[in-house]
Amino acid sequence: MRAMLLFAGLWATCASGAALASETIAVPLTLLKTCHAVVPVTINGKGPFRLVLDTGSPVTFVSNQVARRAGLITEKTARTPALMGLRGMVSAKNFAVGNVNLPDFSLLVLDHPIIGLIAQVDGPVDGIVGFTFFARFRTVIDYAAGQVTFTPVAYQPADVVQVLTARLMQRGPAVRVQRSAALWGLRVEKEKSDEAEGVRVSRIYRGSAAEEAGLRIGDRILSIDGRWTDSVPEAYEVLAQVKPGQEVAVEILRAGQVLSVRVRPRAGF
């Protein structure tokens, strides 16, 4: 399910770096009759609530009822009519998916009609865990084992609602990006039939930062600056966010061996 499609296309603007621990934590998940994966969530010590884990949703949100029970909104606010069920952003002191806890976590309060329909089929469903949560982790869903594992990564998603509001309020013509922030001097590719991890380096330009760092044609890039990179769009999204002169770690697979190289991209056209 692709929830909240209003925010589609904001992905590339929603990131900044952050250092996190590397412990992997497993959380049980339940597969509903509708084939939605549900995880247990506690908010400010209340719950657990049942939220759908949705990799297609750019935001995390809970229903008005859950927001009231968790102390995110008052009784009076909960009784006040809301436009299309949306009350806006709130901040939870603690938001935990299983044993994975995030402090001061921002989320939407929203009565989403699709979630209401799912609840009619499979019992209470209280919202969606979306990009703003799982983007902070390397998230692996194992349906056979009935669990999802979270490994923290150095990636901090920005406030999607703030980004959208800023775009709507922007005056004048939209800014057109003419070039990436920095030049790497490489090209990557991945065929549709390619099921191996990472993307393949298909070209290295002579005298480039990539050549200087020791990257080779045929290397498979697994991660850039701590971010998992498993498609060409993901790779270029990360590459474009690195500033000229900023040295970052690139994890590669070469001849069956995982290596790490340091690349310092350059300024230029």
Q: State the CATH number of the domain containing residue 85.
A: 2.40.70.10
Residues 154 and 242 in one domain: no
Domain end (from 112, 143, 169)? 169
Domain count, the chain: 2
For every residue of 2-55, DSSP letters joined together read ---GGGTT-GGGS-B--------EEEE-EE-TTS-EEEEEEETTEEEEEEEE-T
CB 242 within 8 A of CB 225: yes
61 pLDDT more than 50: yes
**C-alpha distance from residue 251 to each of 3, 67, 186, 199 (Å):** 32, 41, 15, 11
pLDDT, tens digit (0-9, with 9 covering 90-100), for 166-178: 665 555 555 554 4
31 and 108, same domain (yes or no): yes
| Same-domain check for residues 117 and 43 | yes
On whether both 146 and 13 belong to a single domain, the answer is: yes
Q: pLDDT tens digits, residue range 248-261?
A: 999 999 999 999 99
| Residue 65 phi, psi (nearest 5) | -65, -45
The segment with the largest mean pLDDT, out of 25-39, 111-125, 179-193, is: 25-39
Chain-centre distance of CA 47, in angstroms?
24
CA–CA separation, 181 vs 267, rounded Å? Answer: 7
In a domain? residue 181: no
Q: How far apart are CA 44 and CA 68, in angstroms?
A: 11
Q: Which domain holds residue 31?
A: 5-169
Q: Is residue 230 a part of any domain in this protein? A: yes
Task: List, for residues 129-157, the tens digit of each pLDDT value.
Answer: 998 898 889 899 999 999 999 999 877 77
pLDDT of the residue at 251: 94
pLDDT at position 200 over 90? yes
Q: Are residues 13 and 107 in the same domain?
A: yes
| 233 assigned to some structural domain | yes
pTM for the model stands at: 0.56
Evaluate if residue 83 carries a pLDDT over 70: no
Does residue 175 fall inside a structural domain? no
Contacts of 249 (CB under 8 A, 6+ apart): 223, 224, 225, 226, 260, 261, 262
Residues 90 and 119 occupy one common structural domain: yes
